[in-house]
Structure 1
Amino acid sequence: MDGKRIQTYWSSEVDALVKTYQQFETLIPAPKGEGAEHKGEDGRFVEDLVREYLGRFLPNGLEVLTGFILRPAVKTGEAGKEREGELDCHSTQLDIIVFDSSNYPVFQRFGSSAIVPPEGVVGIISVKKHLNDGDVKKECEALFNAATLCETLSSNDRADKVRGPFLALVSVRSKIEKSRTDTLDWIFAQVDLAYAGKSDISFDKLVGFIGALDEWSVFKRRPEKNIKHAEYIGFKHQDGESHLGLQFLLTGLLSVFYDKTRRNLRRPGYTAFPSRRPHDKRLGAIPCTRLR
């Protein structure tokens, strides 16, 4: 397998994304320290930037939105009563919701902000300008709760569930304390802590990717069979490997969009990881009781 053209292409796109943010800092500098002068606008600019880049490369039927997921306790399908006895519930505000608007309606829309039903959610991404020590556990817990709202049945009303949305936490840069023995090990420990005490955890509700786009990536391996745990591996980006983070994001989103529980379409050859490039660390595994 080759794919070097694709790897070079994605690396250039990530480099351009990071450079665009650096230009924003140059034009609107903070009086002291890194970043732009207006912290709120700084964070929103990064969210908009990531949304724009994802929107360029995803199928036309997928929109990259921000907002809320609303799961009303109503009948689904023709006679689905799986939510009987539940109450209407909604997520916290989510930075990025990748939504299949070609097949599912939206409750309310205002610009790129929307309130959407869970059936059409393909991905949920938390975005941070700088990933700090306190972010990992907090954001993983929020992603878990949002993914729980998205547990839905397949469209033909069978008992099996649709594959859950791809979950990710992404930043432009890492501000994890440099004195840590190993950043990747510390990240995984925080992920593990986020799910401690939770029962009946499905594989789909565990975060799929955490990364600083031009530095490192933590990725959840998809199991082949006998779902008992989710294994996490880590990559420290080398020269020419800035494509890894964006490719993990695109691969995760497209794998959900083209999953057989959602549609009968062949997934295109769109991403290309280096052949025989081993991961830098096997970080550990988190127990789960089922796939979905």
Structure 2
Amino acid sequence: MDGERLRCYWSKEVEALLLTYKQFETLIPANGKQGAAHTGEDGRFVEDLLSEYLKKFLPNGIEVLTGFILRPAVKTGGSGKKRKSDTDEHSSQLDIIVYDSQNFPIFQRFGNSVIVPPEGVIGIISVKKHLNDGDIEKECKALYQAAKLCRSLDSASSKTSVRGPFLSLVSMKSKIKKEDPDTLEWIFKRMQKVYSIGERPKYDHLINYIGSLSDFSIHKKKSKLERGELSAEYIAFNHTENELHLGLQYLLNGLLSVYYDETRRSIIRPGFTSFPAKSIEMSLGKIICSTER
């Protein structure tokens, strides 16, 4: 199997991304510590940097945004009855929302900051400059809750569940350093802790990728247990000198696999409007028309 040209190409792209961030630190240095002088701007610069790289390679019609997901308990495509007993729900603020704005509307937009319905969400990405111990559980919980807002979406046939968004936690560099268990095993144990509380999670609600572009990648794949149950197997790699391409490739591959998934090819109407229950005030009459649309 070849593909060496692509691996080399993506490695160079990640090298350029990391170098661009280092240049930011050079121009706006922090005295006596790593990073830039202004922590808030430092974090936003990392989000903007990753967003711009994703925009370069995703198809037209997919936007890379930031903001909130709002799941209103209103009629959707098909019968619309699945949300009959629900209440309106919204996510916490999300660093990156990859959204199919070509096929789905947006509730509110201020530049790249948006409030969107869940139907058009392709991916949700939490972004960190440096990955720290407390980030794993916190961000996995936030992504888990956001993914559940995209639940129970039916295709036009009302028979097939629509594939959920790609979920990931990405950093420029990791500050997590563990020995027993080692760093990657320690991260997985923190993930297990999040998903062991409450009901058994759905496969699509589990995080797809956790990684430091400089250091390592952890990604999810489907696996079947002996008794036929579905499980999520997590595969880990420490990046060698020639494997910087892994992080960016996992992100792009995951987002594109959701976007092109066959369950998303039949566009359904999102929950976008809401009318109160009200009896008809008056009927003005009827006009007979053709059955053709």
Interval of TM-score (by shorter of Structure 1 and Structure 2): 0.7 to 0.9
Retained in 2: the 8 A contact 1:119–1:152? Answer: no
Aligned residue identity for 2:87 = L
SS at match of 1:122: strand
SS at match of 2:264: coil
1:132-281 equivalence runs, <5 A:
132-179=132-179, 181-223=181-223, 226-263=228-265
Tell me the matched-pair count.
264
Alpha-carbon shift at residue 79 of structure 1 (Å): 2.6
Distance 1:154 1:63 in 2: 23
1:75-90 equivalence runs, <5 A:
75-90=75-90
Distance 2:229 2:62 in 1: 29
Superposed structure 1 runs of 4+ greater than 2 Å apart: 152-155, 177-181, 222-228
Distance 2:55 2:224 in 1: 30
Larger radius of gyration: 2
Distance 2:7 2:121 in 1: 28
Tell me the equivalent position of 1:268: none
Tell me the equivalent position of 1:8: 8
Retained in 2: the 8 A contact 1:77–1:157? Answer: no
Tell me the equivalent position of 2:287: none
Alpha-carbon shift at residue 64 of structure 1 (Å): 0.5
Deviates more, 1:24-33 or 1:72-81: 72-81
Alpha-carbon shift at residue 73 of structure 1 (Å): 0.3
Alpha-carbon shift at residue 63 of structure 1 (Å): 0.5
Alpha carbons of structure 1 residues 15 and 227: separation in structure 2 relative to 1, 3 Å: farther
Alpha carbons of structure 1 residues 55 and 263: separation in structure 2 relative to 1, 3 Å: same
Matched, 1:49 2:58: no
Distance 1:121 1:157 in 2: 20
Retained in 1: the 8 A contact 2:107–2:117? Answer: yes
Across the aligned residues of Structure 1 and Structure 2, the Cα RMSD in angstroms comes to 1.4
Aligned residue identity for 1:55 = K
Alpha carbons of structure 1 residues 168 and 155: separation in structure 2 relative to 1, 3 Å: same
Retained in 2: the 8 A contact 1:209–1:220? Answer: yes
Q: Structure 2-normalised TM-score?
A: 0.87
Q: For structure 2, list consecutive stretches of 5 or more residues without a partner in the other structure.
A: 267-293
SS at match of 1:234: strand
Deviates more, 1:154-163 or 1:99-108: 154-163
Alpha-carbon shift at residue 85 of structure 1 (Å): 1.4
Q: For structure 1, list consecutive stretches of 5 or more residues without a partner in the other structure.
A: 265-292
Give percent identity, aligned residues only: 61
Distance 2:248 2:105 in 1: 28
Distance 1:47 1:20 in 2: 13
Distance 2:224 2:48 in 1: 35
Alpha-carbon shift at residue 228 of structure 1 (Å): 2.5
Distance 1:78 1:162 in 2: 13
Alpha carbons of structure 1 residues 107 and 198: separation in structure 2 relative to 1, 3 Å: same
1:145-183 deviations in Å (ceiling 9; x for gaps):
000000142331514310000000000000113555411
1:111-126 equivalence runs, <5 A:
111-126=111-126
